[in-house]
Structure 1
Amino acid sequence: MDTPDDPRVLYQRALDQLERLFSVVTPELLTVPTPCSRYDLRALLSHTVGGVHRIAYVGEGGRAEEVPSWAEAIGDAEWADAFMLARARFTAAWADAAALDRIAVVPWDELSGRAALAGYVVEATAHSWDIAQAVAPGIPLDEQLAHACLPLARRFAPGERRGGRVPFAAVQPVPPGADAYIRLAGWLGRRV
């Protein structure tokens, strides 16, 4: 699959989903484990907010690795607000469609803004599933979004190249007939 013509649309859908999930986070859940084996919920929320800030920074013309991939100093009850600030920054940074055609430097490559943002669509969509498993397993997620991300994930995180600049574990098997989120999670190395 080619990069979507305007991945901002998919990314906003992923952010809509994340916003709903962030709104149900309570301080008591912050130490719950997630499918990302290295992250409890607090660490995953921090990484997710940091990722939104990173792609916003890229839209502003910066190199992703110049800003941390983590959000720092977020109070236990402030995650939804922190997410909304990051989302507003992203929306402003990518408002001009010219950002889609500028060269973007992200941790895994130097490519068009359009392609870089498509990679972040995969990240935001995958982390929405990860967060949902910790805060509300079984909550309905946007299946069309996961279907759109599967070919993108295969492109940006090839199964044969894992580790280093492709920070995912080996592709994991998934049950026959698994939904798109389970297939995406397995492709990105989550044990499902």
Structure 2
Amino acid sequence: MSLLELHTRSLELAAGLVDTVQPEQLVLPTPCTGWSLRRLLEHVVGQHRGFAAAARGAGPDLALWRDVPVEGDPAGAFRRSAAQLTAAFTGASAAPGGSVLWLPEIRDGGPLPLDLAVGFHLLDTLVHAWDVAAALGPSTASGIVTAVEAEPPLVGALLAVAEAVPAAPANRGPGRAFDVVGSPDTAAGPFARALVLLGRDPAWSTPER
């Protein structure tokens, strides 16, 4: 499968998970410190729109990346914005001579080659899908890990991008996209290894109230 096809598959898996979210669950905490499930989904939809705008040739305008309210229909907001992103990436891939994207939230803002941008968003999609699943409960988190690891090209792409994310202290921690790299477990599967590389705790679960 091409990288674009793997990216589309990552969105399909994430959308199926978001479809299960109930309104009363939007207040649940997530592995993203300080973010409720609602805030996480608003961020995800905003990222869909930001990447789509970049793929259509927008410049480094942070306003295009703002969070988008999902109250009342998080699944619909996710699927609509994901479809727009898929169409934008597909269009950019057909551009003569290749495309570059301005991504104001990544590195120095760009420009970056399309394949690199698609890889970044594939990682973002699968890791945030795990964040959603972890908020919903351990069995749901285990389910998304199993589903991704059942598709070696997909989990391989996730791990490859995770390994390429800069791990220097200046690039990690509060205010950054990812926390410091955790302690690896040599017995862990590829999804868990990717989470650790990005500063996530694969064993995270909703705190007891």
TM range (shorter): 0.7 to 0.9
Query: 1:1-192 counterparts in 2 under 5 A?
Result: 6-63=2-59, 65-72=62-69, 74-75=70-71, 77-96=72-91, 97-99=93-95, 101-106=98-103, 107-108=105-106, 109-135=110-136, 136-139=140-143, 140-143=146-149, 144=152, 145-155=154-164, 157-160=165-168, 161-163=170-172, 167-192=177-202
Distance apart, 1:175 and its partner CA: 2.9
2:207 maps to what in 1? none
Where in structure 1 are there 5+ consecutive unaligned residues? none
Deviation at 1:69, TM superposition (A): 3.9
What is the CA RMSD across the aligned residues, in angstroms? 2.2
- Higher RCO structure (Cα 8 Å, ≥6 apart): 1
Cα pair 1:104 1:112 within 8 Å, conserved: yes
Identity of aligned residues (%): 28
Deviation at 1:6, TM superposition (A): 4.2
Counterpart Cα distance in 2 of 1:159 and 1:94: 27
Letter in 1 for 2:75: A
Give the CA deviation at 1:151. Answer: 1.5
Deviation at 1:119, TM superposition (A): 0.8
Counterparts of 1:63 and 1:170 in 2: how far apart (Å)?
Answer: 30
Question: Structure 2 length normalisation: TM-score?
Answer: 0.79
Gaps of at least 5 residues in structure 2 are: 203-209
Give the distance between the partners of 2:53 and 2:75, measured in 1 at CA. 20
| Contact 2:163/2:194 (8 A) holds in 1 | no
Considering fraction of residues, name the structure with more helix: 2
Stretch moving more, 63-72 or 10-19: 63-72
Which structure has the larger Rg? 2
Which segments of structure 1 move beyond 3 Å, counting only runs of 4 or more? 163-166
Contact 1:47 1:70 in 2 (8 A): yes
How far off is 1:149 after superposition? 1.1
Once structures 1 and 2 are overlaid, which stretch shifts more, 88-97 or 158-167?
158-167
